[in-house]
Amino acid sequence: MLVWIAVLAGGFVVLVVSASYFVDGAKVTAHYLRVSELIIGLTAVSIGTSAPEIFVAIMDSLTESPDVAIGNAIGSNIANIGLVLGLTAIVVPLPFGNRVLRHELPLLLLATFLTAFCLANQVVGYVDGILLLGLLGFILYRLVRESKSTGQLPEEIESEIENLSGMSRRRAWIQLIVGLIVLLFSARAIVTAAEHLASQMGVSEMLIGLTVVAAGTSLPELAATMAAALRKSPGIAVGNIVGSNILNLLAVLAVPALMKPAGTAITAIEFWRDFGTMFALTILVALFANGIGAKKIITRSEGAVLLVSYCCYIVLVFWQDG
């Protein structure tokens, strides 16, 4: 078991690093191919935020039962809100930016309700994948149209297209290809290690995806959110998490749905306990932003509520499956 734990930990480190190299290489390569900065920024934000989850989902979906991928998509959202937002808000209270309040948070709620509709029959199937990707396409189209009409790009997209010409064409291609290859191998190592650990611990692969893999693939969000908060840009921190959660539902969860046309079944307890927890935490964040008497900020006490909720969920999951 210690060997597989080491493989899992090493896989997470390599996955996060290679994802960064891959996205940087892809951005500069697209720039040299004369792709518009708006499209580069949108793609970089979309892929970069959830690259670890997406590649783990792809590799796990190639197996007979993509439980790790489904658990990772839902579990990452739980970890992003409970662990990342909760822990960061305890360190630095996190205000909701105007864009998050007007656009991104309502879109996350819409994505959450659509996912609830798709999972209500306890099967993740091909039609579900089409619906999820359809909403993602609509969101990206809306963002492109909005950016063109205002002439301004969202702050997170602006940061992604800075210094695009600072890397040579040759190095960009090398980073793109090597990053992609290493991403695939590290994702495969994580999935294999998760499957072996689940077998040796006598728990389901879904549980490992919901907890260990989800927490591991949420490390980039934790680092980015904490860094944004500490450098006096806490508004970006909340936007990072909201955007990541939208992509986890609409892009990551769509991978096993589309790659397994026959559908993958989930149990009633996985729907009510796991998706239900994610749903409740999402609603809780919305109430922190827009509830009666809300201060438009995640305070330290509210951060503690989120973190305690996450810890209680983890204990409940292992207690029920143990």
Give the pair of three-digit tokens for residue 2.
């210690």
pLDDT at 235: 64
pTM of the model: 0.84
pLDDT at 130: 94
Q: At what angle do helices 126-150 and 234-247 cross, to 10 degrees?
A: 140
At 218-272, the pLDDT tens digits run 877 777 777 777 776 666 778 878 888 998 899 889 888 888 777 788 889 889 9
Q: Are 219 and 51 in contact (CB under 8 A)?
A: no
For residue 124, the surrounding DSSP H or E stretch is strand 123-124
pLDDT at 114: 96
DSSP state of 96: P
pLDDT at 72: 85
From the list 253, 43, 267, the residue with the least C-alpha distance to 129 is: 253
298 forms beta bridges with 94
For residue 168, the surrounding DSSP H or E stretch is none
Q: What is the pLDDT along the chain (322 residues), one digit of tens a residue?
A: 788 888 888 887 887 788 777 777 777 777 777 766 666 666 665 566 677 777 788 887 777 667 778 888 899 999 999 999 999 999 888 888 887 888 889 999 999 999 999 999 998 889 999 999 999 989 888 877 776 666 555 565 565 556 566 778 888 888 888 888 887 888 788 888 887 887 787 777 788 888 888 888 787 777 777 777 777 666 677 887 888 899 889 988 988 888 877 778 888 988 999 999 999 999 999 999 887 677 788 999 999 999 999 999 999 988 887 5
pLDDT at 65: 62
Mean pLDDT of the chain: 82
pLDDT at 99: 78
From the list 9, 13, 8, 24, the residue with the least C-alpha distance to 180 is: 24
From the list 100, 97, 67, the residue with the least C-alpha distance to 244 is: 100
CA 103/CA 124 separation, integer angstroms: 27
Bridge-based pairing of strands 123-124 and 264-265 is: antiparallel
CA 164/CA 39 separation, integer angstroms: 13
Q: Are 179 and 25 in contact (CB under 8 A)?
A: yes
At 190-226, the pLDDT tens digits run 888 887 887 787 777 788 888 888 888 787 777 777 7
- For residue 182, count CB atoms less than 10 angstroms from its CB and return exposed for 0-12, middle for 13-18, buried for 19 or more: middle
